[in-house]
Amino acid sequence: MTNDLCFLNGEFLPLNEAKVSVLDRGFLFGDGIYEVVPVYGRRIFRFDEHMARLERSLAKLRMKSPFAREGWLANCRKLIASRPEEDQVVYMQLTRGVAPRDHVMPVGLEPTVFMMSNPLRAVPADLRHQGLSCITARDFRWERGDIKSISLLGNVLARQMSADHGAAETIMFRDGFLTEAAASNVWIAHEGALLGPPKSDHVLEGIRFELLRELCEECGIAYNLRPISEADVRAADEVMLSSATKDVVAVTHIDGQPVGHGALRGKPGPVYARLYEAYQQAKQTMSI
């Protein structure tokens, strides 16, 4: 594993030989951004959407990509080809670069660029079948969740809370309204419609925001982004998560209570089932 090929600052080399300066601003300040891109059957899913978000994140940090999308794509292909697994997840990270320690952004720095590919660890079949258990917490993170920042301490603390409870994720509320989970977006189904929180500085716009909108349209499911209260989540017909590695997955228990109503209480519901099915089709058509 430590011999896996990675990319660092223009060079492909084994992971255990890749070294970064202790003065790197990613190390000292968490001053950088990242992307996680899923790969199915060695083909990259929604590549342009991930690159567009990477460019948006960079712009928010007043940084620029050191190379064009074709360069990123070529690097991804080389890393993917170096591994035996058909399904992988490419990680790409840029930090502002190496400079004497000072909070102020130095001008003209060469960014540090790092990329690797790992096997995709999909949600295990039994968990997917039964649905996930999650806990809830106040969203105590900073107010720029829209940036895909490598400064993930708040998300690490939030995710660990669920790990300590043997739960899969921590669903967070800010001022009583749903934001997201530690490493995924959160959706509810209400009267047959899929509802998500509005895009804001408090939520990372997952690549699955637009994808789920498209899949809902295809499936004839209404899709609406609007403020969702904690009470809405607890009373929802269905709750689900989305992320690059989870696709879309049902949440069937929240804080130990079953989600949903009637015969479907505590079970994955029909809106989830249709979206998951459509998602699997999309993997074939939306990968390059």
Ligand X SMILES: Cc1ncc(COP(=O)(O)O)c(C=O)c1O
The smaller minimum CB distance to ligand X, of residues 32 and 206, is found at 206
Asked if 24 and 97 count as a contact pair (C-beta separation under 8 A), the reply is: yes
Under rule CB under 6 A, residue 243 binds ligand X = yes
Under rule CB under 6 A, residue 184 binds ligand X = yes
Point out which span in 10-18, 56-64, 183-191, 271-279 binds ligand X (CB under 6 A): 183-191
Q: Is there a catalytic annotation at residue 60? A: no
The residues in 185-204 that bind ligand X, with binding defined as CB under 6 A, are 185, 204
Asked if 247 and 185 count as a contact pair (C-beta separation under 8 A), the reply is: no
> In the bound complex, what is the minimum distance in angstroms from residue 88's beta carbon to ligand X?
15
User: Is the Cα torsion angle 198, 202, 205, 209 positive or negative in sign?
Assistant: negative
The smaller minimum CB distance to ligand X, of residues 114 and 187, is found at 187
Options 148, 199, 246, 267, the catalytic residue: 148
> In the bound complex, what is the minimum distance in angstroms from residue 101's beta carbon to ligand X?
27
Q: Binding string, 99-138, against ligand X, x = CB under 6 A?
A: ----------------------------------------
Give 85's strand partners: none
Q: Torsions phi, psi of 78, nearest 5?
A: -65, -40
Closest CA to 188 of 137, 144, 222, 140: 222
The residues in 44-83 that bind ligand X, with binding defined as CB under 6 A, are none
Point out which span in 70-78, 79-87, 180-188, 229-237 binds ligand X (CB under 6 A): 180-188
270 SS3 class: helix
Task: Tell me which of 244, 249, 251, 259 binds ligand X, using CB under 6 A.
Answer: 244
The smaller minimum CB distance to ligand X, of residues 98 and 173, is found at 173
Look up residue 267 and give its amino acid: K
The smaller minimum CB distance to ligand X, of residues 24 and 180, is found at 180
The residues in 201-240 that bind ligand X, with binding defined as CB under 6 A, are 204, 206-208
The residues in 133-162 that bind ligand X, with binding defined as CB under 6 A, are 155
> In the bound complex, what is the minimum distance in angstroms from residue 5's beta carbon to ligand X?
23
Q: Nearest to ligand X by Cβ — which residue?
A: 206
Under rule CB under 6 A, residue 178 binds ligand X = no
Point out which span in 68-76, 169-177, 224-232, 242-250 binds ligand X (CB under 6 A): 242-250
> In the bound complex, what is the minimum distance in angstroms from residue 90's beta carbon to ligand X?
12
Binding site for ligand X (CB under 6 A): 36, 155, 180, 183-185, 204, 206-208, 242-244
Q: Which residue numbers are catalytic? A: 148
